[in-house]
Amino acid sequence: MANNKFIEYLYSKLPEKDRIFRLAEVIIREEGTLSIIFLVPAEKYDNYMSDSLKNLIFKLTKDLLMDNIFEIIYRKTVSDDSYVKTEIIKYFYKNNPLIMSQIRDEDIDILSQNDFIKIKLNTSKELKEYITDNSISENVIKHLAKIIFEDIEFIIEENKEIDYSIRKKINYIGTNDNKIRLVDISIKTPLSGTISRQPIYISDLEKIREEVVVCGKISGYKNGISQKKNKPWASFILDDTTGKIKCVFFAKYKNQNSVVEQLENDMTVVASGNFSPQKDNDKGEWIIFVDKISICDIDYSSITLDMPYKDVPSDYMTVEPTVYEQEIQSSFFMLDGQIDDRLKGNIVVFDLETTGINITEDKIIEIGAVKLIDGVIKEKFQTFVNPGKNIHIPEEASKVNNIFDEDVANAPPLSDVIPDFFKFCYGCTLVAHNATFDVGMITYYARQFSYNFDNNVIDTLKLAREVLHKTTGVSLDVLRKKFNIDSGNAHRALNDAVATAMLLKELLKIDKS
């Protein structure tokens, strides 16, 4: 066990059976008081840490520190593999978002032997160099030394077999009951500060209770001027579908005054701040004191709720797929005389037409999709959707998609369409252009009817940006013209789905070359 002179002094005055603690850290409080924190394995604390032993340790410490005012805090530790692994990833989440985005739970191996824990991180060559160059291993050990009793060794191994380019995006950190789940978002407009970490589920806040990042839709918005400091403030509730949390924002500086004016109900935002008990509240409620906030888009498909979902229906009940017939398409999807490996298997390419662009407020009015089997379009799925009684399709939406109230008046409601579309997509990779919107919207509404679209996803918008090395000029309309894709009227769901399927082939061809 690694010691320092303070511990060596205490150990020299104690019999071996009482040497069950070690120094974690010494904190100097604002008033000058020292807080001395000792770690004790939970089992030894419960069985051997008596009041008489605590009094003796206090007396020995007082003899050594003389006139210094101090307190001794004992922190019980449990160093099972799951806990150690979770603490490592929580450290990365808080301090090194770049690393957090590149590792998975299974990349960390824990080996516990007596009073020694060996931690091995399997990672890529580039990430290993980054960790080494920035002394991150040493910082992880320092963090763990404050909460784990055993001596720690942290090593990094380069694993050439790990292909990070094909990994599905990480949506959780930790293991089992300690799991902290992450939400995928896209920042639209920063309002105050820069947020670099992924938000966690609001339902998982109790597992962190410190500086947190969450996202959600605003409701119950209020604002005003504080009486004490005469500065603007805002309070609101954030809802990410897993839970709700009250948030408070105080404009500390003049350039933050506009934040209070820009926030409003139904806006989706990501916010970071301190998660703390609310003062002067007998209910013991916790709130987030926000210091950074941005307007964002939330990928609701990245949120998995702990609820029983329905199984895939045995039969189509309302909308039944039909055979897709087009002679040229069989050869169209061939790349150099072969089907690209990424087009093999079952793929559903789909598009939604909606009343607007707000995922949680606007409604789906048409679904169009095609199913590829080993690179060949075999089936199509198309239906109008009745958005509900007294819901009018805005003129702005009709100008784009050419769908009007009379078109959907006799169409089936979404509650009848979702089971059939879920069956059509079951076991398939989903493809959409701007999948954050289409997959997010279908996932959000499907869960209201107890269906969960947890398919793997390919976003041709993101793929286009990567292979064409462009951030603008990658809309479906622009790319149709660029690649001479003719699939019929644009901004109708089925035609756009076919166009997206053809675009996928063109982008994979460029990527392969």
Task: List the CATH number of the domain containing 43.
Answer: 3.30.300
Q: Quote the DSSP letter at residue 360.
A: T
Q: Is residue 454 part of a domain?
A: yes
205 and 150 in one domain?
no
| Kind and range of the H or E run holding 139 | helix 136-145
Average per-residue pLDDT for the chain: 85
Q: Is residue 471 part of a domain?
A: yes
Phi first, then psi, for residue 110 (nearest 5°) are -120, 130
Span 368-383, average pLDDT: 94
Instruction: Tell which wins on pLDDT, 413 or 104.
Output: 413
Name the residue with tokens 């009745």.
386
Domain of 192, CATH number, reads 2.40.50.140
Does the active-site annotation cover 433? no
Q: Is residue 304 part of a domain?
A: no
Predicted confidence band at 276 (pLDDT cuts at 50, 70, 90)? confident
Question: How many of the other CB atoms lie within 10 Å of CB of 31?
Answer: 6
Q: What is the DSSP string of 286-352?
A: EEEEEEEEEEEEE-GGG---SSPPPPPPSS--S---EE---TTHHHHTEETTEE-GGG-SEEEEEEE
476 and 330 in one domain?
yes
pLDDT in tens, 166-191: 333 445 445 444 567 888 888 889 99
Selecting among 392, 433, 469, 491, the annotated active-site residue is: 491
Is the predicted pLDDT of residue 161 greater than 70, yes or no? no
Is the predicted pLDDT of residue 101 greater than 60, yes or no? yes
Q: Quote the DSSP letter at residue 168.
A: P
270 and 207 in one domain?
yes
| Tokens representing residue 292 in the block | 């950074």
Is the predicted pLDDT of residue 83 greater than 50, yes or no? yes
Among 107, 137, 164, which residue terminates a domain?
A: 164
By mean pLDDT, which of 18-22, 75-79, 216-220, 259-263 is the weakest?
75-79
The CA distance from 31 to 70, in Å, is 11
Question: How many of the other CB atoms lie within 10 Å of CB of 336?
Answer: 9
Among 18, 45, 76, which residue terminates a domain?
A: 76
Among 76, 108, 128, which residue terminates a domain?
A: 76
Q: What phi-psi label fits residue 454: left (phi over 0), alpha (psi between -120 and 50 degrees) or beta? A: alpha
The CA distance from 431 to 369, in Å, is 10
**What is the per-residue pLDDT for 507?**
93
475 and 373 in one domain?
yes
Is the predicted pLDDT of residue 401 greater than 80, yes or no? yes
264 and 204 in one domain?
yes
92 and 60 in one domain?
no
Q: Is 86 exposed, middle or buried (0-12, 13-18, 19+ CB in 10 A)?
A: buried
Predicted confidence band at 323 (pLDDT cuts at 50, 70, 90)? very high
By mean pLDDT, which of 69-73, 82-86, 183-187, 316-320 is the weakest?
82-86
231 and 142 in one domain?
no
**What is the per-residue pLDDT for 163?**
45
Q: Which of 379, 388, 404, 375 is nearest to 492 (CA)?
A: 404
Q: Is residue 56 part of a domain?
A: yes
**What is the per-residue pLDDT for 431?**
96
By mean pLDDT, which of 92-96, 118-122, 243-247, 266-270 is the weakest?
92-96
Q: Is residue 169 part of a domain?
A: no
Q: Which of 222, 234, 221 is nearest to 265 (CA)?
A: 221
Q: Is residue 307 part of a domain?
A: no
Provide the number of structural domains found in the chain: 4
Domain of 401, CATH number, reads 3.30.420.10
Q: Is residue 303 part of a domain?
A: no
482 and 388 in one domain?
yes
C-beta of residue 452 within 8 angstroms of C-beta of residue 309: yes
Predicted confidence band at 349 (pLDDT cuts at 50, 70, 90)? very high
By mean pLDDT, which of 78-87, 220-229, 255-264, 464-473 is the weakest?
78-87
Is the predicted pLDDT of residue 300 greater than 50, yes or no? yes
**What is the per-residue pLDDT for 279?**
58
Q: Is residue 316 part of a domain?
A: no
435 and 370 in one domain?
yes
464 and 483 in one domain?
yes
**What is the per-residue pLDDT for 66?**
80
Beta bridge partners of 298: 185
491 and 382 in one domain?
yes
pLDDT in tens, 447-495: 888 899 989 999 999 999 999 998 899 999 999 999 998 766 667 899 9
Domain with 122, as residue range(s), is 81-164
468 and 440 in one domain?
yes
Q: Which of 87, 452, 461 is nearest to 301 (CA)?
A: 452
The CA distance from 490 to 403, in Å, is 12
